[in-house]
Structure 1
Amino acid sequence: MTPTLRTARLVFLPYRPEDEDVFVELLSDEVVCRWMGQERCSEPEIRTIYRSILTDVYGKNLFDVWGVWSDGDYIGHAEIKKTGNVDGHEAIAALVRKHWGQGFGRELVEGLLAYAADTLGVKEVYGMVGAENTASLALCERLGFRHVRDVVSDTGTVTKMLVVSTVNDTPGFS
């Protein structure tokens, strides 16, 4: 069962039925989708994805996924799950565009890393970041991620596979 988590400014809450519209708005933003390395989906497709989080992901306890909030405002989305790219866990994060540049990305990723280390017992976490996403790559570098390899899609898009150790002094939850 996905727990509620807290950092200094953020609350990670399992999604609730009433959060559907903010999730849809986030994944309807083509710039957010581009930086997440995914095609923008139609609203009905996003709503289907959302409902599968509530029924399948939570219902079958497949992995942890949260809506992330600060002072009652939806900041974005976070996940930690086994990755198919390598034998390990991947952190996934997306921020609502109006919250970019406020330090929320760093706090969100640090929170995921602390959870991975403290609760899941994971010794390292992977991330996939688009090669053109300079802001996220710079954040990952500041957090100690190192480059593993480039992954090139069929369309020629390059994604950087990164990894970071969680054994260091990762900031924890309050």
Structure 2
Amino acid sequence: MSLIELQTPRLCLRRWRDDDLPAFAALNADPEVMRFFPGCLSREQSDALVTRIQAHFSEHGFGLWALERRDSGAFIGFTGLLQVGFEAPFAPAAEIGWRLAREHWHQGLASEAARAALTFAFEGLQLPEVVSFTVPGNLRSRALMARLGLQRDLAGDFEHPRLPEGHPLRAHVLYRLGHAEWEAAQ
């Protein structure tokens, strides 16, 4: 299955390249970028994540695209869709996610890329729903979820099963956007 690539006015959502790996490792080693994750990633862990992302594309036909600025060609992070890979009351489901290098925050780039990914999810893949989740304190991501039209599902909040009991990041809030709600907003 060939990888669909997406274009926005400022971004290319594309396949991963080997020359993305150093910049991705730097992004994953930034404590501020990784603030709401269990920890920073080593170069080996970051490279292994890209391998898993590429395998997801091969298996599902979608995944987390590498983000490239069209004006400079710079790799700036990822945005895309993933099958939820753990047991949860809302699974099976497709999740939308993003991670950008800090110097590219506050420019509307995550929003621009996420809108393209949602359009692909609902028009290209005809998904019935897209979810997103994060820890309660990740207010920037939660604000982006709301701007994208995802609605908080209070009854869907959950403890992330991949984190141990008592971990400070185990509690997660759930947001959802159904195909019909997305279509009505277009």
Range class of TM-score, shorter chain: 0.7 to 0.9
Q: For residue 152 of structure 1, what is the aligned residue in structure 2?
A: 159
Once the two structures are TM-superposed, the CA of residue 39 in structure 1 deviates from its matched residue by 2.4
Q: For residue 76 of structure 1, what is the aligned residue in structure 2?
A: 77
Letter matched to residue 74 of structure 2? D
Structure 1 residues 142, 51: closer, same or farther in 2, change over 3 A?
closer
Deviation string, structure 1 residues 87-126 (Cα, Å, up to 9, x no partner): 2111111111111111112111111100101111112100
Q: Does 1:161 align with 2:174?
A: yes
How far apart are the structure 2 equivalents of 1:29 and 1:151? 27
Secondary structure of the residue that 1:131 maps to in structure 2? coil
Structure 1 residues 114, 45: closer, same or farther in 2, change over 3 A?
same
Q: For residue 128 of structure 2, what is the aligned residue in structure 1?
A: 123
Structure 1 residues 122, 156: closer, same or farther in 2, change over 3 A?
same
TM-score (norm. length: structure 1)? 0.85
Aligned length: 169
TM-score (norm. length: structure 2)? 0.80
Q: 2:138 aligns with which of 133, 136, 140?
A: 133
Identity %: 24
Deviation string, structure 1 residues 57-106 (Cα, Å, up to 9, x no partner): 45555642211011212221123122133121111111111111111121
Secondary structure of the residue that 2:107 maps to in structure 1? coil
Q: Does 1:17 align with 2:18?
A: yes
Letter matched to residue 78 of structure 2? H
How far apart are the structure 1 equivalents of 2:80 and 2:148? 18
Structure 1 residues 47, 117: closer, same or farther in 2, change over 3 A?
same
Q: Does 1:5 align with 2:26?
A: no
Unpaired runs of at least 5, structure 2: none
Q: For residue 64 of structure 1, what is the aligned residue in structure 2?
A: 63
How far apart are the structure 2 equivalents of 1:41 and 1:124? 30
Any conservation in 1 of the 2:25–2:42 contact (CA below 8 Å)?
Answer: no
Q: For residue 49 of structure 2, what is the aligned residue in structure 1?
A: 49
Q: How well do the aligned residues superpose, as a CA RMSD in angstroms?
A: 2.1
Letter matched to residue 126 of structure 2? G
How far apart are the structure 2 equivalents of 1:50 and 1:123? 27
Unpaired runs of at least 5, structure 1: none
Secondary structure of the residue that 2:32 maps to in structure 1? helix
Secondary structure of the residue that 1:138 maps to in structure 2? helix
Q: For residue 107 of structure 1, what is the aligned residue in structure 2?
A: 112
Deviation string, structure 1 residues 114-165 (Cα, Å, up to 9, x no partner): 0101111112100012211112211211222112222235214222111112
Deviation string, structure 1 residues 14-37 (Cα, Å, up to 9, x no partner): 1012211111111111221223x3
